[in-house]
Structure 1
């Protein structure tokens, strides 16, 4: 039977890379315009795929609105293939909610033109998340096609089933040699024959499960090959034993499935770099931008959207379009090269601007709606603090807030009249500035004006803050509930005692479980001979440790909050050349603040670094004092268990170079491997991403680190967690790295001096200990709480002016305490927001435990008319029984998520 070659015309369109988005948009006008002309004029040119990115249509139509109808007509005819993504998103760094919203907005936008390709097409992202099959299925997608992450050691054929960590299965085709393999068809007869035989039949089709071969005709920013129909016609005439057709992905998949092949199965996360590069340390490239991504993603989904939902429940408008603009700015930065930061310095400047725009819109939406909530409460106090809890569980926490307070003593009083303890950590007198900003719409109205106003950072011990709601505290200037900071010798709260040793390391005593952890929080600096795509160790490295550096410490605290500020002068090599010589000459000042909040099981870390060195890396190490062959982290919508060392994969590539590795692979072995160009594209290193935590446990005790910036880790010696804080490099791409042999990824001539990060930087993370296994610890819930700060809105009439924009006085009508709903089980909340198309609420929950089934109950504090399970399109799929305004959430297995609509 003839083999059928599906030649799929496309262009893989990087919106930015070694060029800026502005440049790609200008060329998009030309290239997509040519596509429209060709598809309209040539009936033999049946399809062209626009890289599955709906955002490209927005870019094009913004400058060429006159072509909207042309695009719509071609999409409806099926000739112009678009969607389902908004941008070609990364799958490992980006959050699950970002991936879901990317596809939601992509499908929605593409539907406005007619239809979208119902395939999870991912040509170039650096690995596939283990929960993508479930996400695809929940969008109604049964098929996916991608390039990176699978090797022939895992599966024989390039057509197979991919089973997600939750058990969802999608049909998959891997593009074995990349999306560009058929992009350059030679027209010289001899070269043409060799091309089709070698590139198409042998390489692309060599491992196909059926007689059908997927053969993409395109490459990066590729213009349409207008004579492709003629080339296909000529090929059919020269090779009558096979059939060549201009096709599309959906037709290819339909034809493969029609033959009902016996398909192999792969499972879970796909990050093996045998045949293609995964760049498995890109998680820390441009650490400053990774920090922004982490902070903004957490803020949007954990704080902003739930707070807007509370505000909407209280009668305020839900700003759908503003929220969509935030998400679309983040989607532009979520594209695999953009979030990877493997782009030029100029392009990274654009990434920063988009983060700043998204952050500014989100912060100001939260500020406005916090104000609408706070000022509409029935309370006659002159000054109030409104604590807004955006998680669906009651919270007791010590909240750190930067705000304005009156000078002198005062008490914070809760809704029951009880004093609330607080501690002022820092303060400065801003009386003249603040009081000069007052604007009174009604000058005749009298209100409280303090004699002095201070800007402070303060810790407030909040108790029983309602689930997904607020409580309003009052300020009483006749009382005092302040707890003074005093000099201390150790840090202590209910759970921990922390001693700072003479060398600056920490001894942490877990008081609950009577376990002492020594030598914690050690900073380790070493060289980085890599580039924007990969960390790679230098062939001659030198490590510098904080506990071998000069240090000093100042400890202070109260019953509410205590901190140790440890200063290190780490003397490091200036550059790789000096490092190779074993010299150090540059002082890199580091301030590490370790803090304990009353009632908190997480130890807070803040590290400020004034970076002075080039091409290096700074990490922090925690020793679990146990031995475990596996670590636990969270991925998109669930937990993932990873080996600390990829023994099978390491053995395979070492065998391929006839140099077997023993238990650990050292730098010399990797250097030998790097010189063998016939082996894997990258070694199977164990530098990993996480969404919010990484943990080691032996089932009896355990530790976890909760990063709030760079989310990259590695487990050393089966016992130590090494968290990357930052790494720096000077080129987009470099050749012949230990961790990536051969050609440069990206452009080797493009220097990236901004990526040396010669500036002050700040990193936050938490550390916690526990007894039992990972499920007993509830680290998934604890990490969600740690990443979700309670909002505190301060209001007094003397602040109502230029400082916060003047607003008219509102007569409060709402209660001093309010809660929208509360969950009772251990499912983790992923999203709480208003539904996109109606007046309902959307709640998304997932099981974050390790193979332990969970259910839940949600108790609503309003009359629930109806409730449904939905898919990720927010389309109702199954009714949920409501009893006494409470619903029972069905049992979810490992890594399962569920979306609920209520009204």
Structure 2
């Protein structure tokens, strides 16, 4: 007889087509009802509170008087909580965001009582390959998932799931979702046939006689009558033994068969039985870019700077930083960051992220000011601090803004040697908006606002270097790029040329390979919704090639730039798309820059979006004939098919969604033949595609515009609508949107030089210009600092992830990871303090030696 573990739960979406305010109001009554039922009947429970502690935060915000009451039920094991802070997305947010989600979720849950030691992920839109690794780092070896599985990946719903580095969990799939046994009849005779039917369906792909049956649904109230029926239901049939249970009890029984479970390696993105919504990676790109800015600002700049200042004796505002993370993680839930919400909710998602950025930037500003005040100048002029959060010494072009009335000025280092620079942009600035004391003046003070690109050498590893702006000395060399009547730029390695037909050619001088039609803009239809991209069956594609373009070329000593303005004649909306009518001009500005001594092309793209129901991509033909490519995933790299084999099956098997080669990335996608090819490193862009008709081409999605939360019968998603059929006009994202990415032609494949370049591109140095024009005034900190400092150095091929204060001590946490498919050495860590390796949870030492397997993070703890 099969044991059916009935698991009572609720899946708590904080927001979706309703707002967090709506859900908090409901939560007050939901939690009161749950607690009252459990208190009045000791036989009830356990109840799984969706494995996210944010539900407790929300509840106790509106009912703080019930904290002791809820805590007692948690400590008794009647309410099961944790380990997540929020039910995060795994394909859009960063590795550090996921790490903090578990770190803060577990720490917060432990304040109430025991933490459910299950990686419960009921509704994430697809599962990353790295989930077993992430869970293992927090000593979790069991996972429950829903979306992304089918028998084409692994034959049973219970299996051993292994990440690239060998980390493994026992995984169990809810094949028909977390709501498959919701709203059961309350009378045993009525419930019996329903529960038998559902148990049989759950057993279809089961690997053992042990079955899960989740009883609950979205914001669903506690079905307290169900446990009391189980004895009568068991007595009424002999096919199943129904048990009021928990996920842990289910796995304890399954463990007896775990050695015989099939092994699976890889990500789970199959939409055969459940939609994974391959459109959320590019829905509301304005919000996606905000999130990427938030993650980068906090984990790669704020936390490292605060940690450095902590070692200088300044306080570390840990609660403030953790609360910044918590607020952002409310926006990282699968619906929230997927942006498959109502317009009102999307505005709240964006507001939380924008608020987090504002607080982080203000903390950065104040901490730079304290640091700058304490640095003893060794040259005349304004101090400019170049902060390098990567624990490796580097040379770098850095960019910053200055305001000056002078026609000329100099930059120099501590030894008085000139620092080469170039002016990349200039405008006029009313200084009353910068200097508070000028705001009441009757006359306007105008300065030059200049964006400066400076070539700074020998920036210390994890530390800073001070250079000096002297407005009394002339510049050394020609700092103004010269506009020339040419349509090409080049350096020692590359040549980039705009052709007469508006196509762009990139020549790699090292190999002689000519990459034609790079940076081609292609605009096409999207009649989909916030969940899924959906092109018309007969699409009206518009390419920038052959369309009008204007070009201005600027050549300078440090870098040269092509400034292109593409005017695409396109349909205004989906109605015009259907008829092939093009009545509107879409302006896209493309700024392409080649540095004098770098083998890549930096691109800035501004889409002035004035049309609807469309998607615009940048294309990069690679001339590589292979069936697979690589992209980065959290803490690593993954190989994917150019054309998923499942594309031959999905229509005849009636899948819920087409498994098109529309993929997520963290920042990088690579297509090469082991030697030559192209890589794209993007800042905040999360989606790329390999088109069926262009298997050698990387297509990066800039944005897509749609007007509905959900719609039915889409090209790639037939059948019912996902979510709700609600208008979502803000998702047309009208207005200007700016994107940045770098194109790297590969000459020796993904070698050490390539990985070094990508790491430096992802985390450029941060610059602070030490004027007295701060928005807020503070007393000077009584300290004195050297004008150049390196706190420590890590000689390693691993990639930097973050530097932060440890959660439960004043020690320092430094994290890196292996970005490649090769096993790397940990490298040499140079510090005067004691150093040990720990897990992501910062809770136990990791003695795994000096070898770092692919897709593996390395976390070091440095004693203060």
**Fold conserved between structures, TM > 0.5:** yes
Aligned ranges 1:470-869 → 2 under 5 Å: 470-476=464-470, 477-481=472-476, 483-488=479-484, 489=486, 490-647=488-645, 649-653=646-650, 657=652, 679-716=654-691, 717-748=694-725, 750-779=726-755, 781-797=756-772, 799=773, 803-809=774-780, 813-860=784-831, 863-864=832-833, 866-869=834-837
> What is the aligned partner in structure 2 of residue 874 from structure 1?
842
Moved more, 395-404 or 686-695: 395-404
Deviations 1:231-270 (A, max 9, x none): 3233123225532221111111111213556111111211
Q: Is the 8 A contact 1:431 1:454 kept in 2?
A: no
Aligned ranges 1:256-335 → 2 under 5 Å: 256-259=254-257, 262-335=260-333
- Find 1:339's aligned residue among 337, 340, 347: 337
Moved more, 571-580 or 477-486: 477-486
Q: Is the 8 A contact 1:397 1:599 kept in 2?
A: no
The 3 A distance-change label for structure 1 pair 814 and 261 is closer
Moved more, 597-606 or 586-595: 597-606
Deviations 1:745-790 (A, max 9, x none): 1012x100000112121111111112122235533x4223212131
Deviations 1:507-531 (A, max 9, x none): 2222344433222101000001211
Q: Is the 8 A contact 1:504 1:566 kept in 2?
A: no
Q: Is the 8 A contact 2:86 2:329 kept in 1?
A: yes
> What is the aligned partner in structure 1 of residue 853 from structure 2?
893
What's the offset of the Cα at 1:407? Answer: 1.6
What's the offset of the Cα at 1:188? Answer: 6.3
What's the offset of the Cα at 1:436? Answer: 5.4
Whole-angstrom CA distance in 1 between matches of 2:780 and 2:188: 81
What's the offset of the Cα at 1:614? Answer: 1.2
Whole-angstrom CA distance in 2 between matches of 1:149 and 1:855: 34
What's the offset of the Cα at 1:432? Answer: 4.9
What's the offset of the Cα at 1:291? Answer: 1.1
Residue 454 (str. 1) matches residue 430 (str. 2): no
The 3 A distance-change label for structure 1 pair 776 and 822 is closer
> What is the aligned partner in structure 2 of residue 666 from structure 1?
none
Whole-angstrom CA distance in 1 between matches of 2:841 and 2:101: 12
Q: Is the 8 A contact 2:656 2:717 kept in 1?
A: yes
What's the offset of the Cα at 1:464? Answer: 1.1
Whole-angstrom CA distance in 2 between matches of 1:879 and 1:581: 65
Q: Is the 8 A contact 1:396 1:599 kept in 2?
A: no
Deviations 1:358-393 (A, max 9, x none): 110111111111222222111063312111111111
SS in 2 for 1:375: helix
Whole-angstrom CA distance in 1 between matches of 2:761 and 2:677: 18
CA RMSD of aligned residues (A): 2.0
The 3 A distance-change label for structure 1 pair 431 and 539 is closer
Whole-angstrom CA distance in 2 between matches of 1:725 and 1:307: 31
> What is the aligned partner in structure 2 of residue 136 from structure 1?
135
The 3 A distance-change label for structure 1 pair 777 and 463 is closer
> What is the aligned partner in structure 1 of residue 359 from structure 2?
361
What's the offset of the Cα at 1:541? Answer: 0.9
- Find 2:219's aligned residue among 218, 221, 229: 221
Whole-angstrom CA distance in 2 between matches of 1:434 and 1:614: 36
What's the offset of the Cα at 1:844? Answer: 1.4
Whole-angstrom CA distance in 2 between matches of 1:878 and 1:125: 29
What's the offset of the Cα at 1:154? Answer: 2.5
Whole-angstrom CA distance in 1 between matches of 2:373 and 2:501: 50
Q: Would you say how many aligned residue pairs link Structure 1 and Structure 2?
A: 852
SS in 2 for 1:688: strand
Whole-angstrom CA distance in 2 between matches of 1:286 and 1:544: 22
Q: Is the 8 A contact 1:378 1:811 kept in 2?
A: no
Q: Is the 8 A contact 2:188 2:233 kept in 1?
A: no
What's the offset of the Cα at 1:205? Answer: 2.0
The 3 A distance-change label for structure 1 pair 331 and 436 is closer
Q: Is the 8 A contact 1:527 1:541 kept in 2?
A: yes
Whole-angstrom CA distance in 2 between matches of 1:823 and 1:503: 48
Q: Is the 8 A contact 2:426 2:448 kept in 1?
A: yes
Residue 469 (str. 1) matches residue 463 (str. 2): yes
Whole-angstrom CA distance in 2 between matches of 1:764 and 1:259: 50
Q: Is the 8 A contact 1:398 1:599 kept in 2?
A: no
> What is the aligned partner in structure 2 of residue 58 from structure 1?
57
Q: Is the 8 A contact 2:798 2:824 kept in 1?
A: no
Whole-angstrom CA distance in 1 between matches of 2:560 and 2:98: 39
TM-score where L is the length of structure 2: 0.95
Whole-angstrom CA distance in 2 between matches of 1:43 and 1:504: 74
Whole-angstrom CA distance in 1 between matches of 2:497 and 2:240: 74
Q: Is the 8 A contact 2:630 2:639 kept in 1?
A: yes
Deviations 1:827-882 (A, max 9, x none): 1121211111112111112111123433311112xx21x222212221232579xx
> What is the aligned partner in structure 2 of residue 11 from structure 1?
10
Whole-angstrom CA distance in 2 between matches of 1:178 and 1:301: 34
The 3 A distance-change label for structure 1 pair 598 and 320 is farther
Whole-angstrom CA distance in 2 between matches of 1:325 and 1:650: 44
SS in 2 for 1:253: helix
Q: Is the 8 A contact 1:95 1:691 kept in 2?
A: yes
Deviations 1:668-709 (A, max 9, x none): xxxxxxxxxx61111221111111110110122121111113
Q: Is the 8 A contact 1:524 1:546 kept in 2?
A: yes
TM-score where L is the length of structure 1: 0.91
Moved more, 89-98 or 806-815: 806-815
Q: Is the 8 A contact 2:370 2:780 kept in 1?
A: no
Alignment gaps of 5+ in structure 2 = 440-444
Whole-angstrom CA distance in 2 between matches of 1:822 and 1:260: 44
Whole-angstrom CA distance in 2 between matches of 1:189 and 1:411: 85
Q: Is the 8 A contact 1:692 1:783 kept in 2?
A: no
> What is the aligned partner in structure 2 of residue 351 from structure 1?
349
> What is the aligned partner in structure 1 of residue 101 from structure 2?
102
What's the offset of the Cα at 1:271? Answer: 0.8
Q: Is the 8 A contact 2:279 2:530 kept in 1?
A: no
Whole-angstrom CA distance in 2 between matches of 1:356 and 1:156: 44
Whole-angstrom CA distance in 2 between matches of 1:165 and 1:130: 8
> What is the aligned partner in structure 1 of residue 442 from structure 2?
none
Deviations 1:438-466 (A, max 9, x none): 499xxxxxxxxxx9742221111111111
Whole-angstrom CA distance in 1 between matches of 2:771 and 2:393: 26
What's the offset of the Cα at 1:326? Answer: 1.4
The 3 A distance-change label for structure 1 pair 327 and 435 is closer
Moved more, 233-242 or 157-166: 233-242
SS in 2 for 1:599: coil
Alignment gaps of 5+ in structure 1 = 441-450, 658-677, 881-888
Deviations 1:401-427 (A, max 9, x none): 123235221110011211011112222
Whole-angstrom CA distance in 1 between matches of 2:575 and 2:438: 60
